[in-house]
Amino acid sequence: MEHRGAKIQILDLPGLIKGASEGKGRGREILNVIRGSDMVLYVIDPFQKSHFDILDRELWKSGMRLNQDPPQVFISRTRRGGIEVRSTLEQTNLTEEEIQNIVRSFGIVSATVTLRTDVTDDHIVDTLAGNRIYSRSVVVVNKIDLANKKDMERTHKSLPEGWPILNVSAKTGEGIDQMKDFIFDNLGFMSVFLKPQGQEADLIEPLIIKDTSNVRDVCVKLHRDFLRKFRYARVKGPSAKFDWQRVGLDHQLRDGDLLTIILRKS
């Protein structure tokens, strides 16, 4: 799908069954594809009450954490001293001893645990596991042409609070046109305008990148030589402290920036 300058690949995957995370119904193959995606789009209808719960549970068990930020938990192994827990705020869910026991259950006997959020046991386990995927997710509710107000209210109440939801009808076409914007907006894209050195900026066709991108990400997207020959970059726009600020590879970009990349001649 091409929309607003971005090329978006949408994969229509087979449905997951209960036990998919354990390999049932070729579940592991499907889940591996989902784990490599930028966003999970659930398509449900108001008449299958358990479908979302089954799908969401299998994704959770496979290590996906949807619409969540990685927990602010930092664990550094030490040579001696046991397990020391440091926290920047009061912990209301776990005691220090409980945190230490969870860390020990992973075979770690000496470490410094730094907490910058009010953690749960899942936060500690997820950090220690090291293979969790934090991804965006949206829900499309189909068949609204057949549903009444109570059906829709019940469906929305059953979904996680704060998740983006769009109501559509594949039969009547209601909401289908809006779905392109819905997908684009929730993927978290931004536009950066490139200005080749000594030339005018291209303000017609921006480079579409993820809203977490820095200068390094742009160089990788353009061509590997941009990274290999990189000297510095200049930025004008929302991320710059002043016009055409000189920045390095780690500079975080923002939507609407103008960017010039300066390369070594050889």
Distances (CA, A) of 114 to 94, 127, 161: 14, 12, 29
pTM over 0.85: no
Note the pLDDT of residue 201: 86
* Domain 190-263 is found in CATH 1.10.150.120: no
Tokens 């300058």 map to which residue?
A: 5
Note the pLDDT of residue 155: 94
For 162-174, the pLDDT digits (tens) are 999 999 999 999 9
Note the pLDDT of residue 16: 81
Q: Does 2-67+133-187 match 190-263 in CATH topology?
A: no
For 84-95, the pLDDT digits (tens) are 999 999 999 999
Note the pLDDT of residue 56: 93
Average pLDDT of the chain, as a whole number:
93
* Domain 2-67+133-187 is found in CATH 3.40.50.300: yes
Note the pLDDT of residue 5: 84
pLDDT higher than 90, residue 22: no
Percent of the chain, pLDDT > 70?
A: 100
pLDDT higher than 80, residue 15: no
In the chain, where the domains are located: 2-67+133-187, 73-129, 190-263
Which tops the pLDDT comparison, 51 or 175? 175
Answer for the pair 230, 260: CB distance below 8 angstroms, yes or no. Answer: no
Note the pLDDT of residue 224: 86
Helical segments of the chain, H only: 27-35, 51-61, 96-104, 121-129, 149-158, 176-187, 215-222, 224-228
Region 149-171 average pLDDT: 95
